Structure 1
Amino acid sequence: MGASGGFPIDLVLFGMIAAFLVLRLRSILGRRTGFERQAPPYQPPAAPRMAAAPVIEGRVEPATPAAPQTVPEATSPNGQILVQMREIDHAFDVNRFLAGVDQAFRMIVAEFAAGDRVALRALLSDDTYQAFEQAISSREAAGEAQISEIKSIQQLAIEQAALKGKVGQVTVRIVSDQISYTRDKDGKPVIGTDAVTEINDLWSFERDLSKQDPTWRLVAARSG
């Protein structure tokens, strides 16, 4: 993510396939059910709103303030690509997709900071997991710890949309306020700062829209 933290910037790929996370991710990033109606044409949200509280294994999680969402006008080039995605998969909903980006972003940041290899293994591709695992191992060998706390997400904005055959890719700008730093074995910051800092990231998600699996996978991330 941003240069102020220890989280990798230029190489992030993950597959949201963990059994214990699939209900959350599918309820947020898009889920097909036998009773789901075709969603109406998307419209940019008029104002920030509270995100619906997702139900996970019968429990209702506390709702969190939804980050402001920005989507392209339907008549713009990127907007037309999103319309084409909906023509391939009628269940695709851009606002629900962005709500899923919000949750996925929080999960990846938290699990990397915690060094939770099991959770990360389920979220990352093989190559990216190796990079994350190496970073975690290096931290542990040095007696360092990663501290990451997302205070708020200020913006989720679709920057680019592309369609190659039936494979869609959407790049989202994520502006967040974070405390993100690495501290040494004595507890002193060595990378980043313990002050709240605005971090600007670009994450790209990809999915084959012709397949039943509604999961979008993060294929690239960089500092914006």
Structure 2
Amino acid sequence: MGSFDFVTFFFFVAAVIIFIQLRSVLGKRTGSERPPREQTARREQAGTEGGMDDPKVVTLPRRGRENVEPDMFAAVDAYAEPGTELNEGLREVVTADPSFTPQEFVGGATMAYEMIVSAYADGDRKALKGLLSREVFDGFVAAIDEREARGETVRSNFVGIEKANIIQAEMKGTEANITLRIISQLISATLDKDDKVIEGDLVDVTDVNDVWTFSRDTRSKDPNWRLIATEADQ
């Protein structure tokens, strides 16, 4: 298996509506809209739950530390300047799992970002369960429950991701934690039970700035990364 299980990944993506937006859990919006924020998860992973649906977000086939060679850091050095804290953190991740590359991770993480945004706005708890840590999942579900109780709906078009960069990488034991800053563009509005716009706009494009952290146990047979923390990028 390569770095991504693209067949499984894209079958999952085909089942998700990409044009919906995660309201209130996303970060700061620029423009006239009121900045929504209901959940800032602490950067802890609650562990992998058995029996979950596990879409392939970013796959890291396990290989032993004994296989690490100097040239395996070439992708890291191309992504982050050697000697920097980010470079050292990414090297630690590669040492734990030589199949990891920053560029491929960013590609998979941005796809996961859109999938999570879509699943949240759709109230798709099943899809979210396989993509989030227990703590973040519980927070998202609580926000979905509150929204549904108020009779609110979200109408949104995901315009695209303008920029996504890894800003931090670290190993905590066998657990790899990768943090990205993501700038996306959305057309989004929240409607009340009478279909009146109460937040956002049905036409204007707004910028959403987020810092999301994904985590994976590099010695686990489970190849999936899960979102363990979200916060607004100030």
Q: Is this a same-fold pair by TM over 0.5? A: yes
Matches within 5 A, 1:61-100: 71-100=79-108
| Contact in 2 for aligned 1:153/1:177 (Cα 8 Å) | yes
User: What is residue 155 of structure 2 aligned with on the other side?
Assistant: 147
- For residues 11-63 of structure 1, what are the alpha-carbon distances to aligned partners after superposition, in whole Å with 9 as ceiling and x for unaligned? 287969854x53x42xxx124299xx988420577xxxxxxxxxxxxxxxxxx
Flag the structure with higher strand content. 1
Distance 1:167 1:43 in 2: 18
What's the secondary structure of 2:109's corresponding residue?
Answer: helix
Residue 164 of structure 1 is aligned with which of 164, 172, 183? Answer: 172
Q: For the Cα contact (< 8 Å) 2:39–2:139, is it kept in 1?
A: no
The size of the alignment, in residue pairs, is: 192
- What's the secondary structure of 1:186's corresponding residue? coil
Equivalent AA in structure 2 for residue 10 of structure 1: T
Following superposition, the deviation at residue 149 of structure 1 comes to: 2.5
Alignment RMSD: 3.0
Listed as ranges, the matches of 1:58-207 within 5 Å are 71-194=79-202, 195-207=204-216
Q: SS in structure 2 opposite 1:153?
A: strand
Partner SS state of residue 205, structure 2 = strand
- Report the residue type matching 2:88 in the other structure: Q
Q: Which residue of 2 aligns with 1:59?
A: none
Runs of at least 5 residues in structure 2 that lack an aligned partner in the other structure? 1-25, 30-34
Distance change in 2, residues 1:10/1:193 (3 Å)? farther
Distance in 1 (alpha carbons) for counterparts of 2:197 and 2:36: 11
Helix, strand or coil at the partner of 1:42: helix
Runs ≥4 in structure 1, deviation > 6 angstroms?
12-17
Matches within 5 A, 1:29-44: 29-32=58-61, 40=72, 41-42=74-75
Gaps of 5+ in 1: 46-70
CA contact (8 A) 1:30 1:96 kept: no
Q: Paired residue for 1:212? A: 221
Residue type matched to 1:216 in 2? W
* Partner residue, 2:22: none
> In structure 1, what is the Cα distance between the partners aligned to 2:219 and 2:231?
28
Deviation at 1:202, TM superposition (A): 0.2
